[in-house]
Amino acid sequence: MKICCIGAGYVGGPTMAVIALKCPSVEVAVVDISVKRIAAWNSNRLPIYEPGLYDIVAQCRGRNLSFSTDVEKHVSEADIVFISVNTPTKTFGLGAGKAADLTYWESAARTIADVSTSDKIVVEKSTVPVRTGESLKKILTHNSKGINYQILSNPEFLAEGTAVQDLLRPDRVLIGGLETPEGKKAAQVLKDVYAHWVPEDRIITINLWSAELSKLVANAYLAQRISSINSISALCEATGADVSEVARAVGKDSRVGPMYLNASFGFGGSAFIKDILSLVYICKCNGLTDVAEYWKQVLKINDFQKSRFVKRVISSMFNTVVGKKIAVLGFAFKKDTGDTRDTPVIDVCKGLLDDKATLSIYDPQVSEEQLIYDLTMQKLDWDRSSSNQLLILSPTEMKQVHTARNAYEAAEGAHGVCILNDWDEFRELDYRKIYEAMCKPAFIFDGRNVVDPEKLRAIGFIVYSIGKPLDAWVKSIAVAV
Ligand code: UDX
Ligand code: UDX
Ligand code: ADP
**Per-residue pLDDT tens over the stretch 58-69:** 999 999 999 999
- Sign of the dihedral defined by the CA atoms of residues 418, 424, 427, 429, in that order: negative
Of ligand 2's atoms, which has the minimum distance to the CA of residue 270?
11
Residues 178 and 54 in one domain: yes
Q: Given this model, what pLDDT does residue 478 score?
A: 56
Phi, psi of 380 (to 5 degrees): -75, 135
**Ligand 3 centroid to 10 CA: how many Å?**
9
Q: What is the mean pLDDT of the chain?
A: 95
Which helix (H) or strand (E) element contains residue 390?
strand 390-391
Hey, which of 30, 32, 127 would you mutate to test ligand 3's pocket, going by the most ligand atoms within 8 Å of its Cβ?
A: 32
Report the percentage of the chain scoring pLDDT > 70: 96
- Ligand of minimum distance to the alpha carbon of 302: 2
Spatial separation of the C-alpha atoms in residues 327 and 86, rounded to whole Å: 32
Hey, which of 10, 167, 217, 226 would you mutate to test ligand 2's pocket, going by the most ligand atoms within 8 Å of its Cβ?
A: 226
The candidate with the shortest Cα–Cα distance to 306, out of 416, 231, 391, 216, is: 231
Spatial separation of the C-alpha atoms in residues 16 and 12, rounded to whole Å: 6
Give the domain CATH number at 308: 3.40.50.720
pLDDT for 118-163, tens place per residue? 999 999 999 999 999 999 999 999 887 899 999 999 999 999 999 9
Model confidence at 250, pLDDT cuts 50, 70, 90, reads very high
236-255 residues labelled b (16+ CB within 10 A) or e (exposed) = bbeeebbbbebbeeebeeee
Q: Given this model, what pLDDT does residue 266 score?
A: 98
State whether the beta carbon of 159 lies less than 6 angstroms from ligand 2.
yes
Give nearest CA residue, ligand 3 atom 8.
86
Residues 190 and 257 in one domain: no
- For residue 204, tell me if it sits in a domain: no
Q: What is the mean pLDDT of residues 303-307?
A: 97
State whether the beta carbon of 269 lies less than 6 angstroms from ligand 2.
yes
Residues 227 and 303 in one domain: yes
Residues 417 and 450 in one domain: yes
CB half-sphere exposure, 139, CA atoms < 13 A: 20
Residues 426 and 317 in one domain: yes
pLDDT for 308-318, tens place per residue? 999 999 999 99
Q: Given this model, what pLDDT does residue 150 score?
A: 97
- Sign of the dihedral defined by the CA atoms of residues 314, 318, 319, 321, in that order: negative
Q: What is the mean pLDDT of residues 451-473?
A: 95
Contacts of 181 (CB under 8 A, 6+ apart): none
Last residue of a domain, one of 163, 198, 233: 198
**Residues at CB less than 6 angstroms from ligand 3:** 6-12, 32-34, 37, 71, 84-86, 104, 107-108, 126, 270
Contacts of 125 (CB under 8 A, 6+ apart): 5, 7, 11, 12, 15, 82, 83, 84, 154, 155, 156
Amino acid at 252: K
Q: Given this model, what pLDDT does residue 62 score?
A: 95
**Ligand 2 centroid to 318 CA: how many Å?**
33
Q: What is the mean pLDDT of residues 41-65?
A: 97
Of ligand 3's atoms, which has the minimum distance to the CA of residue 87?
3
Spatial separation of the C-alpha atoms in residues 165 and 53, rounded to whole Å: 10
Q: Given this model, what pLDDT does residue 384 score?
A: 56
E-strand stretches of 154-225:
173-177, 203-207
pTM of the model: 0.96
Task: Determine the straight-line distance between the first and last CA of the chain, rounded to whole angstroms.
Answer: 58
Give 379's strand partners. Answer: 391
Q: What is the mean pLDDT of residues 44-65?
A: 97
Q: Given this model, what pLDDT does residue 389 score?
A: 46
- For residue 384, tell me if it sits in a domain: yes
- Determine whether 459 is exposed, middle or buried from the number of CB atoms within 10 Å of its CB (0-12, 13-18, 19+): middle
- For residue 209, tell me if it sits in a domain: no
Residues 283 and 405 in one domain: yes
Spatial separation of the C-alpha atoms in residues 408 and 430, rounded to whole Å: 9
Q: How many domains does the chain have?
A: 2
Q: Given this model, what pLDDT does residue 473 score?
A: 79
- Ligand of minimum distance to the alpha carbon of 224: 2
Give 27's strand partners. Answer: 2
Hey, which of 171, 273, 309, 333 would you mutate to test ligand 2's pocket, going by the most ligand atoms within 8 Å of its Cβ?
A: 333
Q: Given this model, what pLDDT does residue 394 score?
A: 78
Q: What is the DSSP string of 41-79?
A: HTSSS-SS--TTHHHHHHHHBTTTEEEES-HHHHHHH-S
The CB density around residue 13, as the number of other CB atoms within 10 Å, is 26
Residues 385 and 239 in one domain: yes
Instruction: Give the CA angle between residues 84, 112, 18 to the nearest 5°.
Output: 35
Does the pLDDT value for residue 5 go beyond 60?
yes
User: What is the tally of helices (H) and strands (E) in the chain?
Assistant: 20, 16
- For residue 47, tell me if it sits in a domain: yes
pLDDT for 372-408, tens place per residue? 888 887 777 766 544 444 566 777 888 899 999 999 9
pLDDT for 206-240, tens place per residue? 999 999 999 999 999 999 999 999 999 999 999 99
pLDDT for 154-202, tens place per residue? 999 999 999 999 999 999 999 999 999 999 999 999 999 999 999 999 9
- Ligand of minimum distance to the alpha carbon of 39: 3
Residues 180 and 260 in one domain: no
Q: What is the mean pLDDT of residues 85-101?
A: 93
Q: Given this model, what pLDDT does residue 388 score?
A: 44
E-strand stretches of 192-285:
203-207
- Ligand of minimum distance to the alpha carbon of 222: 2
**Ligand 3 centroid to 14 CA: how many Å?**
13
Residues 299 and 383 in one domain: yes
State whether the beta carbon of 162 lies less than 6 angstroms from ligand 2.
no
Residues 395 and 271 in one domain: yes
Give nearest CA residue, ligand 3 atom 5.
9
The candidate with the shortest Cα–Cα distance to 446, out of 432, 458, 457, 433, is: 457
Assembly ipTM = 0.97
List helix spans (H) across 52-180: 53-60, 71-77, 103-115, 132-140, 163-168
Give nearest CA residue, ligand 3 atom 26.
32
Model confidence at 277, pLDDT cuts 50, 70, 90, reads very high
- For residue 432, tell me if it sits in a domain: yes
Q: Is the CB of residue 140 less than 8 Å from the CB of residue 113?
A: yes
- Ligand of minimum distance to the alpha carbon of 81: 3
Domain that holds residue 39: 2-198
Last residue of a domain, one of 198, 230, 246: 198
Task: Check residue 150 and report its DSSP letter.
Answer: E
**Ligand 1 centroid to 255 CA: how many Å?**
10
- For residue 215, tell me if it sits in a domain: no
State whether the beta carbon of 7 lies less than 6 angstroms from ligand 2.
no
Residues 301 and 332 in one domain: yes
**Ligand 1 centroid to 461 CA: how many Å?**
45
Q: Is the CB of residue 264 less than 8 Å from the CB of residue 230?
A: yes
- For residue 24, tell me if it sits in a domain: yes
Residues 94 and 243 in one domain: no
Model confidence at 479, pLDDT cuts 50, 70, 90, reads low
- For residue 213, tell me if it sits in a domain: no
Model confidence at 480, pLDDT cuts 50, 70, 90, reads low
